[in-house]
Amino acid sequence: MVAAILLVVASGAAPAGEYTEVQRTPAEVKRGDECDRLHSELRKKLPDDERAQRDAWVAEKPRCAGTGLYEYLLGTHERHLGNDSAAIAIFEDAVKRKLPFYESVYVSLNTMYAEAAFTAKPPDLERVRVLRQELTQFAAAHKPDAFAYQQLAAYAVTLKDWPAAVEAARRSIELDRMAGKADRYLVFSLHASQRCPEAVKEIGPAIENSPELLADPQFMLSAADCYAETGQIETGEKALNALLRNNPSMKDNAGVIQLQKFFASKKPAGPATPAAP
């Protein structure tokens, strides 16, 4: 399950609005805004076709190259298409040149390095630790968006550093409750560190923000167990049933079976069968 955590966040996140520490002239800002609108139009025109979007965006290089946004989005397209070496080359160049939005590019690049380390055989957890330290230092020196802290939470979960995961997830949520991933790490980490009273307070807002978490086995199993731990039997059973509706293959999971037995033991006994005359 932990392997999936690092992979989930590797797709990256768009720069937060106009955020960048790179100073831009009014003309550069205008050009960047025009390219941002252009890319949005391409996505609408070519929905669900990543390759066509990438090719159309490459065709706009004369108009948009050097905006930082162009490089960030091109690298993200390559990443989504599985062209990791091309994505890394684009991101490394943008960071080296300190183009606008290189802060977000740096986080995506750091993420890709970490994914490669974790999926190595055997996983290179020492490399993941080094990358986490580098990203921590980068976050301290800059003003990163929520995605940076979301990624720090993912690293901490991968390394089973639960206090750090909780802290980073909370920071990400404070900045921008995006896509539900920080919520996921927060609930999972609170559960793993036996802090269920805190976790149950976060489950409702997380699902309200991102209903897709109802289909997340790791999140829902943590939720059901924490409800059980805090005596919320009916709510916990509902959470477990929701998990099984969306993930029927989990029926043989040891944790699921244990919770089913626990919830069954808490149900009031039915009326006694009268003795035969």
pLDDT for the residue 16 = 40
**Peptide bond before residue 122 is cis, with ω within 30 degrees of 0:** yes
pLDDT at site 19: 61
Domain 145-263 sits in CATH at 1.25.40.10
Q: Indicate the helix (H) or strand (E) that contains 56.
A: helix 50-59
Residue 92 confidence (pLDDT) above 70: yes
pLDDT of residue 60: 97
Q: Contact, 189 vs 165, CB < 8 A?
A: yes
Asked if residues 135 and 9 have their Cβ atoms less than 8 Å apart, the reply is no
Answer yes or no: is pLDDT of 11 > 70: no
What is the tens place of the pLDDT at every residue in 121-160?
A: 999 999 999 999 999 999 999 888 899 999 999 999 999 9
Looking up tokens 């086995």, which residue turns up? 217
Which residues neighbour 145 within 8 Å (Cβ) at sequence distance 6 or greater?
13, 15, 16, 19, 103, 104, 175, 176
Residue 223: the pLDDT is 97
Q: Are 227 and 211 in contact (CB under 8 A)?
A: no
pLDDT at 2 over 50: no
| CB 177 within 8 Å of CB 208 | no
CATH class of 1-11+31-144: mainly alpha
Q: Are 9 and 150 in contact (CB under 8 A)?
A: yes
pTM here is: 0.84
How sure is the predictor about 4, in pLDDT bands with cuts at 50, 70 and 90? very low
Provide the residue ranges of all domains of the chain, joining segments of one domain with +: 1-11+31-144, 145-263
Asked whether the predicted pLDDT for residue 10 surpasses 70, the reply is no
186-240 per-position pLDDT tens digit: 999 999 999 999 999 999 999 998 899 999 999 999 999 999 999 999 999 999 9
> Is the pLDDT assigned to residue 277 strictly greater than 80?
no
Q: Please state which of the ranges 45-49, 189-193, 263-267 shows the lowest mean pLDDT.
A: 263-267
- pLDDT, averaged across the chain: 89
What whole-number percentage of the chain has pLDDT above 90? 82
Do the domains 145-263 and 1-11+31-144 match in fold?
A: yes
